[in-house]
A and B are shown apart, each in its own frame.
Chain A
Amino acid sequence: MKKKKQRKPSASRRLLGLTMLFYGLAFLLLYLYDYDLRALALAGAVPALIFVSVRGLPRVFPSDRLLLSLSSFLVALGVLVLYRLNPERGISQLINYMVAIAAMLACTLAVRFIRRWRLLAWLAVPVSLGLLALPLVYGTEIYGAKNWVTLFGFGFQPSELVKLSLLVSLSWLLSRRKVILAALVTLACLGLLMLQKDLGTALLYFGMALLMMYASTGSPLVLMAGAGGGAAGAYVGYRMFAHVKRRVAVWLNPWADRQGAGYQIVQGLIAIANGGPWGTGLRLGNPGVIPASFNDYIFTVICHEFGALFGVAVLGIYLAVILRGLAIARQADQTFHALMSLGCAAMIGLQTFVIVGGNIKLIPLTGVTLPLISYGGTSLVSSMCLVGVMQGVSAVNRARMQQARESALYEGEDAL
């Protein structure tokens, strides 16, 4: 027990040191290319921010160090790649990062200290539906999907925030065995997303809800009904929406129209091939030709300049985040908490799978962001919130264990 306690921080400390070194050197390299002073400043600022968030935060707030180090590595990778693509975006992502840290802490604290979720969970249902209905009224259409809202001069994607509210309501409903109600809420959300033609996000909600339902009921019927329903939904989507049909055709053979519809996939594949296993090297590639290199195709940019092996390593880090989240879920003593952490891990995992799979042409491309890395305030905030929820559950677990230990100690003293 004691030994384990000592080893854990040393592993994450080494991880932290390497992460800081990596980003320090990377930004230094960018500085040396054209003596851009901002890059030099970032060479100090990014490692410092990582240090503060990984070493400093846990002193003040309850947090899980491993999750923090892994997620900061990913977010910082996003900042680095975005800065290399376009310095303004990199800096704006850094600001998003700070906002996202605050949001993450809020989520951690909420999960750690809120005891009565009943009202919140019920409230979350109309909030989710309302937010999802918003783009249908105020929305702007981007890449064939109408999922973007501008309110008070400030644009955001409601479907990103609904991930969180839906997670809370589903976890609560399922922990109270209201499976049918949970299914209805999910279906309503999916319906609204279908109306916005945002099938990528619909797929994520669907997958998350399905995994949570399976975990809470354990019934293979849920899985079968879900898979059947999913297939039917996919078919209806395919028949109903021209842009889905086009995407499937482009997925099957992007080379048929390599200058038009297939341009993005073709350029993505070429960029990965140019990188090869070791990459072209930071700043030595030309990721500029890849459309949507800031968000949907950022994984391809990473493979292009850092190499396919690095891309695999990044996937490994995502997997580590997910497995950590699931381990936290297994330690929870309340079904509600377990389901929350599971839902977060599932969401991050599915989202990564859907977009990376789309990038490498394993599945049809759907416009979702790469969690924690892609450019965009809403996306970063929502994925950091997911990390925050996992940390909150972890904090609850640790507080409980602490208590158990103390009471055991107390009882022991009593016995004396």
Chain B
Amino acid sequence: MKQLRHRIRSVGLLLCALFLLLGAYGAYSLTNYGSRWFSTSANSWLRGAKQDVIPGDVYDVNGVLLAGSAVTETEDGWTATRRYHDSADVRRAVVHVLGDAAGRVSNGVETFMAQALYGFDQGMAERMNDYLSGARRKGDSLTLTIDSGLCAYILNKVEALSASGAPPRGAVVVMNWKTGAVLAEMSFPTFDPLAGGGEGEPYFNRAVQGRYAPGSTFKTVTAAAVLSDPALSGRSYTCTGALSAQDQEGTVREIHDAGSVSAQGTLVSHGQIDLRRAFLVSCNNTFASAALQLTDAKLRRQAMAFGFEENFLFRDIVVENSSYPDTDRTEWAVAMTGIGQSGLLATPMHLCLIAAAVANDGVMMEPALVRQAIASDGRLRRELVPQAARRAIADADVAALLKEYMADVVNAEGGTGHQAAVAGARVCGKTGSAEVDGQENTNALFIGFIDDPDTPVALSVVLEDMGSGGSCAAPLAHDIFEYILQNGREML
């Protein structure tokens, strides 16, 4: 009997543990995901509650009104309708960040910031006061970190790229690498919130929802892993033009450099080459063998330090997860991962964060979209406080070295990104041309930044089915950097 009593107590402890687990998990998920669940477009209660509140205004970083509300009196009260910027270009340039009243773009400011815009951040006293005074409740106004002039400029530049008449597809993200403030978050094709529609899934926000193979831009991560490993960092490699590795069926496949097979069918190789030079000419052979020497585990660890496989829980922006493949890790697959192919996927926002982390001595800042939230009575409710999201590169010296590598890509002789160079600024970057099944051309990618604490700009450019990163994405990066250097130090 005594033993039985003892065991009854163990059963009690077990049940207590189960209940504790319920409470702990509930508290955890509500604090971490609660605001995401709340602001989803599937929340019909929110839709109803919005009827009683005039939504707050949304301004860009220079105080340009992007979305305001017009209140019309009706017989049984009033209705508020959303008004957008007069210029169609500006409307189309910011629609993916801003979202639209109909909720066609998921997680735009209009939906994701509903808590602020519709006054759910107001305290009990404020609500009581409004209720008693009979005033119409108005939500908080938001000043974003977005620069609508820059966005409209990028829009025109990108749409001019389409030679065949089909609208270009892709995304551009520009941010301040010191604070994480996002200056532009654009997805193509885009649409006018007043008209809607268009070809090629315009409601899909490619900047944060589109997951692309990073291609050679991922060599930044591979290089960071190699440079962090004292056993490998000083090595030189021999490029033979083709690297053989076994895939999951055991057949040996070759990895070539773009254009390494010449017109005569012979292999062109880089010969004896060190990592710095290989980075600047974007030698696949070197990075594939570097990945094999590193082993999958180490490369994966570095990628995860950069945020791959991370459930991003940024406060202002909902970003899809980036993935590092974890099945069928054959020799060939690991080698391909080293050059940014084979199941690796990242959003343009994440690619921009990777560039920004290198610029910021290895510390990745949390991307931010809201500069200020101001209550309807003019009180400052909340202000942007830059926050580090993670340490992407453990050693600041490695980050500095990687910065040199990226500067070479743009500025040194034979660098793949030389078209991104801007006179009078130290531009660093990495190009990428990612192969996608069923596509005629490669996706053109470029990630980069200006290495100057007074102009801390980082960007990523992804253009689908467009060609090589060096010839298509890098010139766009050049234009964006130049625009910012000329027009907009105050936007930072």
Contacts and interface: CB of A to CB of B under 8 A. Distances in A.
B8 to A, nearest CB: 5
Interface in A322-373: 322-323, 326, 329-330, 333, 335, 338, 342, 345-346, 349-350, 352-353, 356-357, 360-362
A74 interface: no
B339 to A, nearest CB: 30
B37 A308 contact: no
Given A216-B4, A270-B43, A271-B45, A326 B22 contact: no
Contacts of B42: 258-259, 266-267, 270
Nearest to B34: A273
A215 to B, nearest CB: 5
Contacts of B43: 270, 273-274
B267 interface: no
A272 interface: yes
A312 interface: yes
A308 B31 CA distance: 11
Given A326-B11, A356-B22, A362-B22, A273 B44 contact: no
A167 B34 CA distance: 40
A309 to B, nearest CB: 10
B386 interface: no
B40 interface: yes
B483 interface: no
A315 B37 contact: no
B19 A315 contact: yes
A33 B42 CA distance: 28
A38 to B, nearest CB: 26
Interface in B389-417: none
Q: Which of A218, A357, A360 has the most CB of B within 10 A?
A: A360
A285 interface: yes
B45 A289 contact: yes
Interface in B20-49: 21-23, 25-27, 29-30, 33-38, 40, 42-46, 48
A339 to B, nearest CB: 8
Contacts of A270: 37-38, 40, 42-43, 45
B208 to A, nearest CB: 15
Contact of A330 (B9, B19, B23, B40): B9
B1 A312 contact: no
A238 interface: no
A218 B19 contact: no
Given A218-B3, A270-B45, A312-B23, A342 B8 contact: yes
B425 interface: no
Given A215-B7, A315-B19, A326 B26 contact: no
B19 A349 contact: yes
Given A266-B42, A335-B1, A360 B15 contact: no
Interface in A352-402: 352-353, 356-357, 360-362
B18 interface: yes
Nearest to B30: A308
A312 B27 CA distance: 9
Given A319-B19, A360-B29, A272 B37 contact: yes
A329 to B, nearest CB: 5
Contacts of B36: 273
Contact of B15 (A308, A349, A357): A349
A258 B16 CA distance: 33
B198 interface: no
Contacts of A218: 3-4, 7
Given A315-B22, A333-B1, A285 B45 contact: yes
A285 B29 CA distance: 21
Contacts of A297: none
B12 A273 contact: no
A15 interface: no
Given A274-B38, A308-B30, A360 B45 contact: no
B15 A329 contact: no
A215 B14 CA distance: 12
Q: Which of A270, A318, A333 has the most CB of B within 10 A?
A: A270
Q: Is the interface of B mostly helix, strand, loop or mixed?
A: helix
B240 to A, nearest CB: 44
B38 A319 contact: no
A269 to B, nearest CB: 5
B5 interface: yes
Contacts of A266: 40, 42
A78 interface: no
A199 to B, nearest CB: 18
Contacts of A215: 4, 7-8, 10-11
A318 B20 CA distance: 12
Contacts of A326: 8-9, 11-12, 15
A269 B37 contact: yes
Contact of B11 (A280, A319, A346, A361): A346
Contacts of A289: 44-45
Nearest to B47: A286
A312 B16 CA distance: 13
A308 B9 contact: no
A335 B4 contact: yes
Given A285-B45, A356-B22, A342 B34 contact: no
A356 B40 CA distance: 23
A10 to B, nearest CB: 26
A274 B8 contact: no
A329 B15 CA distance: 15
Interface string A167-183: 00000000000000000
Contacts of A280: 45
Contacts of B15: 319, 322, 326, 345-346, 349-350, 353
B12 A360 contact: no
Contacts of A350: 15, 18
Contacts of B30: 272-273, 308
Contact of A353 (B5, B18, B26, B45): B18
Contacts of A261: none
A200 interface: no
A146 B320 CA distance: 39
A350 B14 CA distance: 10
Contact of A273 (B1, B21, B35): B35
A303 to B, nearest CB: 9
Contact of A362 (B1, B9, B21, B37): B21
Contacts of A276: 34
Given A322-B15, A345-B15, A360-B22, A214 B7 contact: yes
A285 B26 CA distance: 20
Contacts of A282: none
B22 A357 contact: yes
A311 interface: yes
Contacts of B4: 215-216, 218, 335, 338
15 contacts: A272-B34, A273-B36, A273-B43, A274-B45, A308-B27, A312-B23, A312-B26, A318-B19, A322-B12, A326-B9, A326-B12, A335-B1, A349-B18, A362-B21, A362-B22
Interface of A: 211, 214-216, 218, 258-259, 266-267, 269-274, 276, 280, 285-286, 289, 308, 311-312, 315, 318-319, 322-323, 326, 329-330, 333, 335, 338, 342, 345-346, 349-350, 352-353, 356-357, 360-362
Interface of B: 1, 3-5, 7-12, 14-16, 18-19, 21-23, 25-27, 29-30, 33-38, 40, 42-46, 48
Given A214-B7, A273-B37, 4 more contacts: A286-B44, A286-B45, A308-B27, A333-B1
